[in-house]
Amino acid sequence: MNSAKIIVIGSGPSGIAAATKLLELGFQKVTLLEAENRIGGRINTIPFANNVVDMGAQWCHGEKDNVVFDLANQQPNLLEHSDEYASKQNFIRSNKYILPEATSKRLQDIIDKHIDNEVEMKNFKGSLKEYITEKYFQELQKPENSDIDTNIGKEFFDNFQKFENAIDAADSLSDISTRDYHENWESEGDQLLNWKDKGYLRFLQLLMKSTDSKKLGVLDQRVELGKPVKKIIWSDRGVLVTCEDGEVKEADHVIVTVSLGVLKELHSSLFEPKLPEKKTQAIETLGFGTVNKVFLEFPNEFWPVNWEGFALLWREEDLKEIRGTNRAWLEDMFTFVTVKYQPKLLNGVIVGPNARLMETLPREEVISGCMYLLRKFLKWEIPEPINSTTSSWYSNKHFRGSYSHATVKAEKINAKPAHLASTLVNSENKPVVLFAGEATNDHHFSTVHGAVETGWREAQRLADIYSVK
């Protein structure tokens, strides 16, 4: 049993992973400080409509080399394959025209051909936007693609950009490094494994060995909620953690798992002494954008059986209707999808600066805008929603965004997640302040499994210095 006093800041997946692993390794004096009044971080499962929805992390991405899948797969029937559904997502233009599946597949194949070309991308100097724009439109100009309407080709590409921005949580493909794009390793297997009617919170319960959604399992009595941290002062003598309520806590080690968005905003005032230059550069140049969701509950399903949603393809003349108006933000709401185990729900997804803008708008304005889109694009009679909820990841000062990505700026100075993950050590070269979280993972950043890996990594780092097996 180890007597080292350890504070974990943040109870998202990386913080919970670190704390539960420390307990497993024999450390007993482990405390989690959580700024929110709930655990989970960017996992936020809430009751809504027929059961629950996930406001943040939603899917288990992949089955191989994925610690989330490995743990969940030990339980019977916890995850479900997306390919079990006879589903179809349409690409619909703003004049209600549905692209033939063959056309959308050809256009997507053009993009995938070049996005999947890792060798070519690693040798390209510039942004993902420069790379894929050049490749895509070169392909469209080939004789074999002359039958594809030029406007439709452009509209499809515009929607792809928003989709890719959402995958990476980027404001623009211009920000994303082409060379480092494939540093984010995709776990093989189904990328959209869903949690049925339990939500991602069920995974946190597995980590905590809790069978009750309202209890913290092995972390019971170890988590202090509503406890934002204001200052972290570290030295050879250990760490002093000052909370916003004025309480000062002492520790031998601190594991910081706050989001990259929070570090961007607070690193210069949060740490004393200041962080090393290389770590600061990583914080300032690695990307951290915003993706938000809108959930609409309807009195009945007005869409066909097995319909999974649609992607919005804007005709230029229709965009003129909203540009320059208070509905201009709707341009970046790029898809509406159905929700598994929620038969009356549609989930709209919006990305970038307009996702942040949406957070500032009155709820009625957001719902009105979504209904405008649905009625603009879809041919059916659409009833008014009976309930709604929206995420707001940027305006929440405890997150300041959604997840991280590799940027052109970081590439230019060779800033990596490893620099963000580097520990602050004392004069004996022993770790005092450690860092975890998805943005500190070299190859699984922007994922829950990546976050969990980093929590385990830092717990093991401490175990190693105490020779704990």
> Which DSSP string do the residues of 170-219 spell out, in sequence order?
-S-GGGBBSTTGGGSPPPSS-S-BB-TTS-THHHHHHHHT-SSTT--GGG
Residues 341 and 459 in one domain: no
Which residues are registered as beta bridge partners of 5?
A: 29
Residues 258 and 313 in one domain: no
Q: Using CA atoms, how far apart are residues 189 and 193, in angstroms rounded to an integer? A: 9
Task: Confirm whether 345 is domain-assigned.
Answer: yes
Structural domain harbouring 265: 2-45+198-286+413-465
pLDDT digits 0-9 by tens, 202-236: 999 999 999 887 899 999 999 999 999 999 999 99
Number of domains in the chain: 2
Q: Strand runs (DSSP E) across 383-436, as ranges?
A: 387-390, 403-405, 424-425, 431-435
Residues 118 and 163 in one domain: yes
pLDDT digits 0-9 by tens, 262-294: 999 999 999 999 999 999 999 999 999 999 999
Is the pLDDT confidence value at 468 over 70? Answer: no
DSSP-assigned letter for residue 244: T
Residues 172 and 213 in one domain: no
pTM above 0.95, yes or no: yes
- For position 131, which CATH number holds? 3.90.660.10
DSSP-assigned letter for residue 331: G
**Residue 1 pLDDT:** 66
Helix 13-24 vs helix 448-465: angle between axes, to the nearest 10 degrees?
Answer: 30
Task: Confirm whether 74 is domain-assigned.
Answer: no
Question: What secondary structure does DSSP assign to 303-318, as a single string?
Answer: S-TTEEEEEEE--HHH
- For position 266, which CATH number holds? 3.50.50.60
Place of tokens 């490094």: 177
pLDDT digits 0-9 by tens, 399-430: 999 999 999 999 999 999 999 999 999 999 99
Residues 226 and 99 in one domain: no
Task: Confirm whether 66 is domain-assigned.
Answer: no
Task: Confirm whether 55 is domain-assigned.
Answer: no
Residues 458 and 342 in one domain: no
Helix 150-168 vs helix 101-115: angle between axes, to the nearest 10 degrees?
Answer: 50
pLDDT digits 0-9 by tens, 316-373: 999 999 999 999 999 999 999 999 999 999 999 999 999 999 999 999 999 999 999 9
Report the pLDDT averaged over residues 232-256: 98
Residues 181 and 309 in one domain: yes
pLDDT digits 0-9 by tens, 59-114: 999 999 999 999 999 998 899 987 644 346 899 999 999 999 999 999 999 999 99
Residues 206 and 183 in one domain: no
- Nearest Cα neighbor of 255 from 44, 16, 458, 1 is 458
**Residue 350 pLDDT:** 98
CB-based contacts of 391, cutoff 8 Å, min separation 6: 44, 55, 56, 292, 293
Residues 295 and 282 in one domain: no
Residues 425 and 368 in one domain: no
Task: Confirm whether 59 is domain-assigned.
Answer: no
**C-beta atoms surrounding 105 within 10 Å:** 13
Pairing of strands 387-390, 291-297: antiparallel
Task: Confirm whether 63 is domain-assigned.
Answer: no
Residues 353 and 210 in one domain: no
Q: What average pLDDT is seen over the chain?
A: 96
Q: Using CA atoms, how far apart are residues 447 and 41, in angstroms rounded to an integer? A: 13
Residues 167 and 264 in one domain: no
Question: What secondary structure does DSSP assign to 272-329, as a single string?
Answer: ESPPPHHHHHHHHHSEEE-EEEEEEE-SS--S-TTEEEEEEE--HHHHTTTTTSTTGG
